[in-house]
Amino acid sequence: MNYQEAIDYLNSFTDYEKNTEYVYQDIKLERVKSLLNKLDNPHKKFRSVQIAGTKGKGSTCAFIFSILKEAGYKVGLYTSPHLIDFKERIKISYEDDMAEIRERLIDQNEVSELVEEIKPHADGIKGLTFFEVYTVLAFLFFARKKIEFAVLETGLGGRLDATNVVNSLVCAFSGISMDHMAILGNTIEKISREKAGIIKDNSLVVTVAQPPQAWREIERICKEKNIRYYQVGKDFIYDVIGQNLEGSILDFKGIADSYQNLHINLVGPFQALNAALALSVIQLLRQHEIIISSLAVKRGLQNAHWPGRMHIVHRNPFFVFDGAQNPASAHALRAAINVLFIPKKAILIFGVSKDKDVRGMIPHLVRGQNLIILTQANHPRAMDVDTLEQKMVQFKRIIKKTKTVGEALNLAIENISSKNDLVVVAGSLYLIGEAYTALKDLKFPEY
């Protein structure tokens, strides 16, 4: 089987990231378990940590992966969605010929070989989805590469997510807020109940500060399972002592170790919270006799990278890509902009998926904007610009519409007047992925 045949086979399964009409309750973990069992249960051949939440879980996973990598462990990272190429979802660390620790994505040949191995077993299981098959592929790849740890970002919800077949050492929760309401429920309680479904009988649990409704759900399940749970801000304390366009510096005090002057190269105040959650997970691994050195922690935080979140892709003028796609992440983006930038002119390029709370996002994103450029990703879930324009009329901003992300970026460049101008691209990770692809064809003004 060649790579294109493998891709065609994977795409033959229902992809609920593109299909807006699927029924979440039709997802069954039994399908994934059945397929894994036919493949000798690769997910049981490495230890796992699992992160769920609405915002910040991807960055948290990236921090944990980087720290474990710097500590010398063979570690795998599984995240979703991707920005440009779906191979981005599967990453491993490895030692090169010079004994340097590096990282890489799964390659085309590996995808082809694994799909060929999975296909005979998957063909006999009715109802499998793209995400389920690809998750199994990731676990099989990790087992073949003999990784010691897998860092897993929950895809959607938690209880029924394909990643939830693992028995995680630590289950962590980034901020929970309203998103995917049509699927997970229209209240924080319902959404949190689904996400808290990742908690296992013998897991350790840590969470950032949550809305009271979310906290009650996490606490309830932990008490039912007689599990010790921890909270960032109570059991783990962090203090941001500096931040700028290069990242942040923070101090951290945990239940085992304390660290001073930790440098984070990911930009934005919210990344300090994500780093603190990652550090909390690392400290809880001590209870499983997994000790990470202070040097590995410092290097891991400083070397972590996670594109698409407050990523400054060009300076003078500033272009910032951020996948903010719900009101909470839009609020975090606005707070970061207020702290880090004083633009002469601010331009927003905005596109969003049909199922998102646009009216909840807009007040945060339009504040201070001189021009708003609406566009849409080339994706089945993208909201068309005319519908999006109707939702924004009440805010009385200068609005222009474009058909493609590349056209929107070029229009923004045409409207730049100084090196201190700021262009923010936000609203959807699919939008951000296309913006990255369009970068190579852009001609930025020189000042």
Q: What single string gives the DSSP state of each residue in 53-68?
A: -SBSHHHHHHHHHHHH
Please report the beta strands in 245-387, taking only residues with DSSP state E, as ranges in sequence order: 247-253, 258-264, 311-314, 318-322, 346-350, 371-374
Quote the DSSP letter at residue 129. B
Name the residue among 269, 277, 377 with its Cα closest to residue 323. Answer: 377
Coil, strand or helix: which one is 76? strand
Counted domains in the chain: 2
pLDDT score of 366: 85
Based on the domain organization, do 206 and 355 belong to the same domain? no
Are residues 309 and 298 in contact, defined by beta-carbon separation less than 8 angstroms? no
Phi, psi of 252, deg, nearest 5: -140, 135
* 69 domain residue, yes or no: yes
pLDDT score of 26: 61
Q: Which of 255, 287, 303 is the last residue of a domain?
A: 303
pLDDT score of 380: 87
Are residues 297 and 279 in contact, defined by beta-carbon separation less than 8 angstroms? yes
Handedness of CA 305, 188, 376, 395 (dihedral sign): negative
Distance separating alpha carbons of residues 233 and 171, to the nearest angstrom: 17
Phi, psi of 440, deg, nearest 5: -65, -20
Name the residue among 43, 59, 9 with its Cα closest to residue 308. Answer: 59
Q: Which of 282, 303, 324 is the last residue of a domain?
A: 303
pLDDT score of 246: 94
pLDDT score of 23: 55
Based on the domain organization, do 14 and 138 belong to the same domain? yes
Range of the domain at 362: 311-439
Cis peptide leading into residue 317 (ω within 30°): yes
Q: What is the pLDDT of residues 104-163, one digit of tens each?
A: 999 999 999 999 999 999 999 998 999 999 999 999 999 999 999 999 999 877 888 999
Based on the domain organization, do 36 and 180 belong to the same domain? yes
Positions in the chain whose pLDDT score sits under 70: 18-26, 99, 178-186
* 445 domain residue, yes or no: no
What is the CATH classification number for the domain harbouring 201? 3.40.1190.10
The 10 Å CB-count burial string (b at 16+, else e) for 231-268 is bbeebbebebeebeeebbbbebebeebebeebbbebbb
Q: Which of 243, 278, 303 is the last residue of a domain?
A: 303
pLDDT score of 325: 82
Based on the domain organization, do 292 and 392 belong to the same domain? no
